[in-house]
Amino acid sequence: MAQVIRKPTVVDVARVAQVSTATVSRVLNGRRVADPELVDRVRLAAAELNYRPSGAARSLKAGVTRLIGVVVPDLGNPSFSELLRGLADATGAQDHRLLVADAKESQDEERALIQELALHCDGLVLCSPRLPLEDLAQLVATPMVCTNREVGDLSMSSAGVDSYAGMAAVVHHLTGLGHRHLGYLAGPPTSWSNAERQRAFDDATASLRLPRSVVQAGSTSDDGHRALPELLAAGVSGVIAFNDLVAIGALARLRELGLDVPGDISLAGFDDIPVAEFLAPPLTTVRLPTEEVGRHAWALLRDQLERAGRHGTVRLPTELVVRASTGRATGT
C-alpha cells in the first residue's frame, strides 16, 4: 500500500524559502510583499513541498476561492470536452468555477500543473491522470478526484466507466460476426483506461482461443493512421482502436490503401464522440456516459471538501453502439 506523506506546514515552507512564517502567509494569502524575489522563493518552496493553506482545503464552506482545478491529458480530445461540460454544469450550479490545464500527455507537465493548481484551488479533478501511483500518493494531501483512473488503496476518490466491460462487448460483437483474428490499436502506455481495455481484449480473445495482435498507437488520429499498417500485416480482419480519434486515423489509412470498411476490414472505436455517427461509414463504438462522469466527479470532490477524509468510487456502465463500420467477416 502506498504511504501518504505528512502534510507540509507553513513552517516547512518558511524553512525551505528561508523567510519568516509571516512572509509565507502574506504571499500565499495574496497580500502585498515589497520584494518580488521573496514572493518567488515562497511560491517555489510551496510548490516543491506540495503545500497549500489549510483554510483553502475547507473552502467549500468558508468560500475562500471557489475555484476547482482540472488537469486534462489532451484538450484536443472531444471526450474530455464532454467531461468538462458535465463538471462545469455541476460546479457552476453551486457557484464554483473551473481552472483547466492541458498536460499534453506529459507526466512532468501533469505533475507541475497539479502542484501549481493546488496552491490556488479548493480542490482538483485529475482527468485520466498519467502519473504513477507512487507520484499520486505524494499529492493526496490536496482534496482531489481522479476520473477514469482507479487508485487502489490511495486516499483519493475516483469516478469513471467500466472500460473492461466495454472492450469485452466489442470483442464478442466482432467474433459474433465471424472474425477470428482481431487487432488492437493500443493507447498511451501511461493510460489506465488503455491498460483496462487491453486487459479485456487479451482476456476475451484468450477465452475464445483466438489469435490476437496488439500494436502501440496512441490517442490521436495521426497515431491511428501511422500504426494501422502493422496490424494489417499481421492478418487481422477486425480492428479495435483505443478511442474514436485513433479509429478515425485508421479509417483514413484504410481508404488510402483501397480497402473497404467493413467489406475488407471491420473497425470499431471507443468513446462515441459526436462525429463518430457521421463518418463514412458510421463508426461502431463504445458509448461512455462522459458528462455524467464529470457530475459524479464534482459530487465526490464536494463530499471530500465538506467531510474531510471521506472518499468514494463510482464506476458507470458503458454501451456498445453498433453502426456500419463492422460487418461479417469475409467467407463467413
- From first to last of its 332 residues, the chain has per-residue pLDDT tens of 344 446 778 788 888 988 877 788 777 766 666 677 888 888 888 888 888 665 444 443 444 578 999 999 999 999 999 999 999 999 998 888 999 999 999 999 999 999 889 888 889 999 999 999 888 888 767 789 999 998 877 778 999 999 999 999 999 999 999 999 999 999 999 999 999 999 999 999 999 999 999 999 999 999 999 999 999 999 999 999 999 999 999 999 999 999 999 999 999 999 999 999 999 999 999 999 999 999 999 999 998 888 766 778 999 999 999 999 999 998 76
Q: What is the DSSP string of 31-81?
A: ---S-HHHHHHHHHHHHHTT---HHHHTHHHH-S--EEEEEES-TTSHHHH
CA dist 42 and 132 (Å) reads 27
What element of type H or E holds 184? strand 182-186
Q: How many residues does the chain have?
A: 332
DSSP state of 13: H
Q: In what order do the strands lie in the sheet with 266-268?
A: 212-216, 182-186, 238-241, 266-268
pLDDT at 63: 46
Q: Look at the pTM and tell me if it is higher than 0.85.
A: no
Residues with Cβ < 8 Å from 119, sequence gap 6 or more? 28, 43, 46, 47, 51, 52
pLDDT at 71: 97
CA dist 141 and 205 (Å) reads 41
pLDDT at 30: 63
CA dist 317 and 166 (Å) reads 8
